[in-house]
Amino acid sequence: MQDYSLEVLALRRILGQGKTYRETIFRILSAERVSTSSVLELKRTVFGVLRRYFSLSHDVEKNFPSYGRDSDERYLLLLTLFLLRQKKEREEVKENFLRTFSGLRLVGDPSFLFDRLSELGKTAFLLPEELKASPYAYNALALEIPEFLLHDLVFSYGAEKSKGIALSLREMPSAVYVRNVFSSADGSLPGRIYALKRGHAFLLPKDCNTRKIPEIVKRTFYPVDLIKLLAIDQLSIDGLSFQALLLNQRTPFLAAYLDGIYQDLPQISVTPVFVKEQRYRSSIEWLKEIGSKNVKPLLSSLELAKTYFPEESMDFVALQGDDVFLGKAGMRPDVLPDLTKKDMQESFSRQTNQLLQASPFVKKGGFLLFLNAGITMEETRNVRESFLSLRKNFELVADHVLLPIDEGTEGGYFALFRRVS
């Protein structure tokens, strides 16, 4: 018999415990026996609730104010209202709702609650008339984003562009792939081509199933964030050596791309540093598969990296900042719900400190690259200016904000600095 207990568990982990959508689904499926059809339904329901979190929350909190924000009752109400508005079979939804309510021993009259939900579910979400007196609150609710974030976007980009940005944060992004220069197999991909100075990047449509494209399966192409390609295109490495240190990495793709660009130099070494062991081990296997020989992954925290490498020893240092993943919200529905202004302020301070820790590794004349998925001033310009005010021996070479609406890809930011003294 089916119920919604796993969906409630998923929402509890994501909204109550701050876990990611992907990690949550993986953990649940690893611990529970779930049929193939139920897996798809679980993913769709949780994803949909997170995408429409603000409007669903508004109706649930208005009509069921006695339930706390982190209660299982509230999570069940959210997903049930979502399903009813998706025109799911009412009686089936009711049976599953009642089973879940009983199985989790929730508080309240389940029949009364469902009848009220059923009435709400007969119509689409209606924006409250009283909010029209507060344009930011009204539009933020219509766009399904936090109100403070709409303020930040309008301040940075203006009202009209902010609307497009907000809508793009709820869309699945297109994927960017680059040719694997270590592969001898010829391949071609459909999609739009970016003519970068050192190669080609292919932008695949978001409805394209990359797992079935032979060139990707054979490792002839691999994924890289477009913001990273745009950043590396600004590099100008002269000389015989290229000693690169990539800090706080989550994937080996940037390391492999750099290795491909500079593989002909007589002295090249690329060290991606991973914080999580699982990512570190999977990167080793992946680099072996594509044939990248100059990349030597390391498992270490940012703080301990100084025990492995001396100061002023690197031609190039790249830092992946620990941001709030706003530019990746299209793929991560867990980003926007419960995002606060405090989260953004802490992100600014955290990434500024990370840049300060990374800068001593850069030799005179070397480059320091800062990357993240930021799109607001807090995680882009403010971090850049704060770093430059504290490290007078660095100058800005180039920076760029890639918005999700620009190319339909994930949003992000890079700032490339050079050490001048």
> Domain boundary at 61, 93, 120, which?
120
Domain contains 361: yes
User: Is 233 in the same domain as 142?
Assistant: no
User: Is 110 in the same domain as 147?
Assistant: no
Contact of 214 with 177, CB cutoff 8 Å: no
Q: Does residue 195 register a pLDDT over 80? A: no
Report yes or no on whether pTM surpasses 0.75.
yes
User: Is 47 in the same domain as 77?
Assistant: yes
The helix-helix angle for 110-120 and 72-85 (nearest 10°) equals: 40
Tokens encoding 30: 């690893």
User: Is 136 in the same domain as 116?
Assistant: no
Q: Does residue 197 register a pLDDT over 80? A: no
Confidence of residue 292 (pLDDT cuts 50, 70, 90): confident
Tokens encoding 76: 């069940």
User: Is 329 in the same domain as 410?
Assistant: yes
User: Is 21 in the same domain as 143?
Assistant: no
Tokens encoding 297: 């992954």
User: Is 261 in the same domain as 407?
Assistant: yes
Confidence (pLDDT) at 188 = 67
Element at 250 (helix H, strand E): none
Q: What is the pLDDT of residues 4-41, one digit of tens each?
A: 999 999 999 999 999 999 999 999 999 888 888 789 99
Beta carbons within 10 angstroms of residue 123's beta carbon: 8
Domain contains 189: no
Domain that holds residue 44: 5-120
User: Is 248 in the same domain as 351?
Assistant: yes
Domain contains 99: yes
Q: Does residue 206 register a pLDDT over 80? A: no
Long-range contact pairs involving 26-34 (C-beta distance under 8 Å, separation at least 24): 32/6, 34/6
User: Is 245 in the same domain as 392?
Assistant: yes
Contact of 400 with 227, CB cutoff 8 Å: yes
For range 163-170, the mean pLDDT = 96
For range 216-240, the mean pLDDT = 89
Q: Give me the percent of the chain exceeding a pLDDT of 70.
A: 97
Confidence (pLDDT) at 15 = 97
CATH number at 24 reads 1.10.940
Q: How many domains does the chain have?
A: 3
Tokens encoding 335: 């980003």
User: Is 63 in the same domain as 84?
Assistant: yes
CATH number at 338 reads 3.40.50.150
Write the CA distances from 200 to 212, 231, 256, 299, integer angstroms.
Answer: 21, 14, 15, 30
Domain contains 217: no
Rounded to whole angstroms, how far apart are CA atoms 115 and 107? 16
Confidence (pLDDT) at 93 = 97
Rounded to whole angstroms, how far apart are CA atoms 384 and 391? 11
Q: What is the pLDDT of residues 392-411, one digit of tens each?
A: 999 999 999 999 999 899 99
Q: What are phi and psi of 277, to 5 degrees?
A: -65, -40
Write the CA distances from 413 to 25, 270, 373, 377, 398, integer angstroms.
Answer: 28, 22, 6, 10, 11
For range 169-189, the mean pLDDT = 80
Confidence (pLDDT) at 181 = 84
Rounded to whole angstroms, how far apart are CA atoms 358 and 356? 6
Contact of 351 with 323, CB cutoff 8 Å: yes
User: Is 410 in the same domain as 278?
Assistant: yes
Rounded to whole angstroms, how far apart are CA atoms 325 and 336? 9
